[in-house]
Amino acid sequence: MTRESAPNLVRATAVGAPSARSPFVRLRELLADTPPGQSPISLAVGEPQHPIPAFVGPVISAHVAEFGRYPMNRGLDEFGEAVGKWLDRRYRLPRRVDPASEVLVLNGTREGLFLAGIAARNYVAPRAGKLGEKPAVLIPNPFYAAYAAGAIAADCEPVYLPATAATGFLPDLDALGEDLLARTVAFYLASPSNPQGAVAERAYLDKLTALARRFGFLVLSDECYCEIYSDRAPSGMLEAAGADFHNVVVFHSLSKRSSLPGLRVGFAAGDRKFLASYLELRNVAAPQVPTPLQHAAIAAYSDEKHVEDNRRLYREKFDLADQIIGDRYNYRRPAGGFFLWLDVSAHGGSEVVTQRLWREAGLRVVPGRYLAREQADGTNPGAAYIRVAMVQDKEITAEALHRLVAVLD
């Protein structure tokens, strides 16, 4: 048995074509016929509920006339400059990012991550693997649904890499065989990870970068939760990419950093040759970002006070989780992100507990099974867990956590 065919690696061909259905559609179906037992509290969608920064409205108003013009897909020069300065402040980069060639504005990161899979196939596949082999896209399992959708749309084989407690909730890079890596066009990584909140250390990022350069694939690094952490700011993939940033592209968003999920502004930065190819696809296939919203994003990336306030609110809610949940459900305070990843295997597993919390407590959470794919041995790395989004205010969060414990205890 080769390492590629080992049972801990999930190949789509081993388990059938993966479903591209939204976990939230599946959740609605699961709870559709069940009335809530108490006044509903949603802890399902990772939609920040903190107040939006006060400067957003005035900035958009000042540029409202620009809604009357089509924006360029590459973004405003001023946007690229603001992103470059922020990246230089936030990370220990080997050099400053070039705003003109190494930054692209995105309409949020979901569409950016999805289209990046297609662009990676076009950019890398001609030199990946042996003649006739299907290109592969490597995806952590559990994962954000846009990764798999991008791989499927690119006509690549999604290979789901278990990210469990045994592997520190990140894919085990040492478990990847050379045959698989040789036909890989992209490796999606999330750090901090969604849903587990794991943070990849710099040594992990260095190892992944070395693999990407050795085998010629792209690392598509989802860093949308990078500004929400308990103690130490997570490292970023560009820090490990060397002065040329080859084979590495990072994706960032204001949804979590600035509590602006409805603004739909993010960016991609990194490998300039790939970004030039990516822009060609985006010019014909991607939604442009309205320039008034880009101006709001420029203001957001130029201000740290609202980010510090936002981070403090999350810390206070995790303090509540420490007190209310304690050592139940194998709870651990995540290194980053704003999710609880609770082991409810002793209470019937993810779907049973999700139904029970809704039926008895009016709590809406996401079954971990819906955020992952079955492995080759038939197990699902999310089946034992529920994901709880800590996005409500402190009072509602405290009420929700007390209800959760009361039901399960």
Q: pLDDT (tens digit, 9 = 90+) per residue, 221-249?
A: 999 999 999 889 999 999 999 999 999 99
Nearest to 317 by CA among 296, 294, 334: 334
Nearest to 241 by CA among 397, 26, 87: 87
Bridge partners for 137 per DSSP: 158, 186
**Cis bond before residue 142 (omega within 30° of 0):** yes
Spatial separation of the C-alpha atoms in residues 248 and 195, rounded to whole Å: 23
State residue 248's pLDDT score: 98
pLDDT-based confidence at 133, cuts 50/70/90? confident
Q: Annotate 61-124 with DSSP letters as a single string.
A: HHTGGGGGSPPPTT--HHHHHHHHHHHHHHS--SS---TTTSEEEESHHHHHHHHHHHHHHHHH
Phi, psi (deg, nearest 5) at residue 367? -65, 130
Token digits of residue 202: 């710099």
State residue 78's pLDDT score: 98
Mean per-residue pLDDT for 34-53? 96
Structural domains in the chain, CATH included, are 19-46+306-408 (3.90.1150.10), 56-303 (3.40.640.10)
State residue 14's pLDDT score: 36
Spatial separation of the C-alpha atoms in residues 64 and 291, rounded to whole Å: 9
State residue 89's pLDDT score: 97
Mean per-residue pLDDT for 111-118? 97
CA distances in angstroms from 291 to 24, 254, 299, 395, listed in the order given: 31, 15, 13, 37
Nearest to 144 by CA among 83, 218, 217, 221: 221
Phi, psi (deg, nearest 5) at residue 187? -125, 110
347-351: Cβ within 8 A, 24+ apart: 347/408, 349/383, 349/384, 350/382, 350/383, 350/384, 350/385, 350/386, 351/30
Spatial separation of the C-alpha atoms in residues 193 and 337, rounded to whole Å: 7
Judged on CB neighbours under 10 Å (0-12, 13-18, 19+), 175 is: middle
Q: How far is CA 201 from the centre of its chain?
A: 17
The answer to whether 369 and 382 have CB atoms below 8 angstroms apart is: yes
State residue 15's pLDDT score: 37
State residue 8's pLDDT score: 54
The pLDDT of residue 6 is above 70:
no
- Per-residue pLDDT of 146-158, as tens digits, reads 999 999 999 999 9
Mean per-residue pLDDT for 67-93? 97
Sheet holding 339-343, edge to edge: 339-343, 385-389, 366-367
The pLDDT of residue 306 is above 50:
yes
Please report which helix (H) or strand (E) contains residue 272, including its range.
helix 272-285
The pLDDT of residue 47 is above 80:
yes
Cα dihedral across residues 110, 114, 115, 116: positive or negative: positive
Spatial separation of the C-alpha atoms in residues 206 and 135, rounded to whole Å: 24
Please report which helix (H) or strand (E) contains residue 151, including its range.
helix 145-153
Q: Annotate 13-70 with DSSP letters as a single string.
A: HHH-SPP---HHHHHHHHHTT---SSS-EE-SS----SPPPTTHHHHHHHTGGGGGSP
Q: What is the mean pLDDT of the chain?
A: 93
The answer to whether 286 and 102 have CB atoms below 8 angstroms apart is: no
The pLDDT of residue 128 is above 60:
no
| In 345-393, alpha helices (H) | 350-361
Mean per-residue pLDDT for 113-138? 84
Mean per-residue pLDDT for 98-125? 95
Nearest to 143 by CA among 188, 97, 112: 188
The pLDDT of residue 1 is above 80:
no
Mean per-residue pLDDT for 277-283? 97
Least confident of 98-107, 119-128, 368-377: 119-128
Mean per-residue pLDDT for 289-311? 98
- Per-residue pLDDT of 367-405, as tens digits, reads 999 999 998 889 999 999 999 999 999 999 999 999 999
The percentage of residues in the chain with a pLDDT greater than 70, rounded to a whole number, is: 93
- Per-residue pLDDT of 170-219, as tens digits, reads 999 999 999 999 999 999 999 999 999 999 999 999 999 999 999 999 99
pLDDT-based confidence at 7, cuts 50/70/90? very low
The answer to whether 252 and 221 have CB atoms below 8 angstroms apart is: no
CA distances in angstroms from 209 to 47, 159, 184, 204, 215, listed in the order given: 31, 19, 14, 9, 10
